[in-house]
Amino acid sequence: MSNDLRYDGRVVVITGAGNGLGRSHALLFGARGAKVVVNDLGGGAHGGGKSSAAADKVVDEIRSAGGEAVANYDSVEDGDKIVQTALDHFGRIDVLINNAGILRDASFAKMTDEDWDLIYRVHLRGSYKVSHAAWPHMRAAGYGRIIMTTSSAGIYGNFGQANYSAMKLALLGLGNTLSHEGRAKNVNVNTIAPIAGSRLTETVMPADVVAALKPEFVSPLVAWLAHEDCSETGGLFEVGAGFMGKLRWERTLGHNFRGRSFSPEDVAAKWEKITDFAEANHPANVNESFGPIMAEMGKPGKGGNEFIDADEATSAA
Ligand code: NAI
């Protein structure tokens, strides 16, 4: 018992916590001493409607198990109100799990502006708004943990999910940059790509698969990433069905034309080498991405190249 990871005194905001993954995260944090803000608009899986019932039910579950929680029914588009709920009730915000989500699947040929805009507003703008409202409080406290929820549909693409894929992968970009900007203030930002049986997936998966993909198999990773003992930041993790693993970028050694002029035919002639992963490297930031290439061309800036200065300036800001 004494080795349990605890969250006593920590205030955890979880968006979309009335169902599925968010509910599972909320119950875990609530059981381990956190003060939980259970946010949920209480709408349908496709973005319509509104009800306080979903958030209230999870708050009741946490409280009846002896935990502390408060409900918030605002849309993530009103992120400042959600963060204000944490401040009003608990005086601080330590952890933010950006989890709220809906689907508006359609093939790109049939996708409407409404499908696109709604998914943008809930996933990308919503995660931005809540994170942006939490950010100054975490920076001022010198402590914060933020989790973004992306999707394999965003990482790999998926038929019928152009809107969702675009916004989900944008969340990885947002999380990656926030991990740089938050580092100096002990604000760690990671991204998960979960898979779980929920009302979002029950329509596309067989019932036995939905049952096997318990949301409870995702929450322990979220809890660890949100703990003060975890120093991980800027990570991307696939998680579900009891599996969890980290992803990274892989780049072929490629071919360098070394500043000489070259033609499309030259590119075609080198295509095998450009696309050959037999030997590869794994750039983890912009310096590792283009720094060595610039340096090889004799263009290193102060401290390596110009990217380093930009990165350091921002993380210190
Ligand atoms: P869910 O539908 O069970 O739960 C999502 C919750 O978000 C709902 O309770 C809903 O009312 C709430 N919500 C929707 N719009 C909101 C808004 N504007 N403001 C506040 N709350 C809002 O879905 P699930 O499966 O638990 O998904 C959670 C997150 O995980 C979503 O971001 C989803 O895209 C992501 N995800 C889920 C996967 C899965 O296999 N279930 C796969 C990949 C990503």
Tokens 């991990």 sit at which residue?
179
- pLDDT for residue 307: 46
- pLDDT for residue 315: 45
Contacts of 128 (CB under 8 A, 6+ apart): 79, 174
CA distance 83 to 132: 10
Residue nearest to atom 34 of ligand 1 (CA): 101
Helices (H) and strands (E) in the chain, counts: 13, 10
Q: What is the mean pLDDT of residues 217-229?
A: 98
Q: What is the mean pLDDT of residues 187-202?
A: 94
Choose among 183, 105, 199, 192: nearest CA to 144.
183
Residue nearest to atom 12 of ligand 1 (CA): 16
> Of the residues 25, 40, 57, which should be mutated to test ligand 1's pocket, given the most ligand atoms within 8 Å of the CB?
40
Q: Are residues 196 and 156 in the same domain?
A: yes
Which sign, positive or negative, has the C-alpha torsion 18, 77, 151, 145? negative
CA distance 168 to 161: 10
| Active site (catalytic) residues | 164
CA distance 106 to 297: 46
- pLDDT for residue 259: 76
Instruction: Find the CATH number of the domain harbouring 109.
Output: 3.40.50.720
Choose among 42, 12, 129: nearest CA to 80.
129
Measured from the Cβ of residue 243, the count of other Cβ atoms closer than 10 Å reads 9
Q: Are residues 144 and 267 in the same domain?
A: no
Vertex 209: Cα angle to 30 and 26 (nearest 5): 10
Q: Show which of 228, 247, 266 is a domain's final residue.
A: 247
Q: Which atom of ligand 1 is nearest to the CA of 77?
A: 18
Q: How confident is the model over 234-279, as pLDDT tens digits?
A: 999 999 999 999 999 999 999 999 878 999 999 999 999 999 999 9
Q: Which atom of ligand 1 is nearest to the CA of 76?
A: 19
Tokens 């120093």 sit at which residue?
231
**Phi and psi of 314, rounded to 5°?**
-70, -40
The whole domain housing 289 covers 251-316
CA distance 150 to 167: 8
Q: What is the mean pLDDT of residues 205-226?
A: 95
- pLDDT for residue 300: 61
Q: Show which of 218, 247, 276 is a domain's final residue.
A: 247
Residue nearest to atom 40 of ligand 1 (CA): 195
Residues with CB under 6 A from ligand 1: 15-16, 18-22, 39-43, 45, 54, 75-76, 99-102, 122, 126, 149, 151, 194-196, 198-201
Q: Are 196 and 242 in contact (CB under 8 A)?
A: no
What's the pTM value of the predicted model, to 2 decimals?
Answer: 0.94
Q: How confident is the model over 293-312, as pLDDT tens digits?
A: 887 777 665 443 344 444 44
Distance in Å from the first CA to the final CA of the chain: 40
Tokens 């990570």 sit at which residue?
235
ipTM of the modeled complex:
0.99
**How much of the chain exceeds pLDDT 70, in percent?**
93
Q: How confident is the model over 85-127, as pLDDT tens digits?
A: 999 999 999 999 999 999 999 999 999 999 999 999 999 999 9
Q: Are residues 122 and 36 in the same domain?
A: yes
Q: Are residues 243 and 257 in the same domain?
A: no
> Of the residues 14, 15, 19, which should be mutated to test ligand 1's pocket, given the most ligand atoms within 8 Å of the CB?
19
